[in-house]
Amino acid sequence: MFNLILFGPPGSGKGTQSNRLIEKYGWIHLSTGDLLRAEIAKQTPLGIEAKHLMDHGHLVPDEVVIGMIGSALDANPQAKGFLFDGFPRTVAQAEALDKLLTFKKTGINLLIFLHVGDEELVHRLVERGKNSGRSDDNAETARKRIEVYKRDTTPVADYYSRFGKVVHVPGEGSIDDIFGALTREIDGKAEKAA
């Protein structure tokens, strides 16, 4: 089993690259952003609360996303691996994830950190907003999200660095080139583990 965290600021290409990685490796894709947007689309009480927070660039409470990930892990007992996209976003989420995976006698193999500059991030999110229909894809919310990311989410990479599980990949350049860099890191790590 191989479990990967694709890590990076909002708009760094986590969702874009995740779609390609799951096709190549056959893992289960767990995107907390997608799970929350599904709740919003269904207009559940959780979705209504999450939309308000997301539109303002805030994180959804830890217990909500941890509960969603716990259910998704339980729903896929035969998975050959999980790709965590947009999760964990706080150290509390990382600690909870480690506990959930330990309980399943597995753990995180690798965290890949995609690096993209702030202005490029805002540009991408504003561009995406022209077609996405996402009410968080605008310059003001993007800047707030980047601020929250720097404060609350970057410590997650430090947390996994302590266990020697972090590699860094440039997230600017062509989508194909970035995908190539990601697969080299994954294949190298998988070979070492074999």
Check if 14 is active-site: yes
Encoded tokens for 73: 């892990």
User: Could you give the CA distance from residue 97 to residue 108 in angstroms, rounded to a whole number?
Assistant: 9
Helical segments of 109-174, H only = 118-132, 139-148, 154-161
Annotated catalytic residue: which of 20, 37, 104, 128? 128
Let me know: does 83 contact 30? Beta carbons within 8 Å.
yes
By CB under 6 A, which span of 4-12, 39-47, 73-81, 159-167 interacts with ligand B4P?
A: 4-12
- Considering only 54, 83, 110, 156, the residue that binds ligand B4P (CB under 6 A) is 54
User: Could you give the CA distance from residue 100 to residue 103 in angstroms, rounded to a whole number?
Assistant: 5
Question: For residues 76 and 132, which CB has a smaller minimum distance to ligand B4P in the complex?
Answer: 132
Beta-carbon contacts of 94 under 8 Å, excluding residues fewer than 6 positions away, are 88, 156, 159, 160
CA 41 from centroid of its chain's CA atoms: 20
Subset of residues 111 to 150 that bind ligand B4P, contact rule: CB under 6 A = 124, 128, 136, 145
Number of residues that bind ligand B4P (CB under 6 A): 26
Per-residue contact track with ligand B4P, 73 to 112, x per CB under 6 A?
Answer: -------------xx-x---x-------------------
User: Could you give the CA distance from residue 178 to residue 183 in angstroms, rounded to a whole number?
Assistant: 9
Check if 143 is active-site: no
Q: Give the footprint of ligand B4P on this chain (CB under 6 A).
A: 8, 10-16, 32-33, 36, 53-54, 59-60, 65, 86-87, 89, 93, 124, 128, 136, 145, 175, 178
Q: Which residues are catalytic?
A: 14, 89, 128, 134, 145
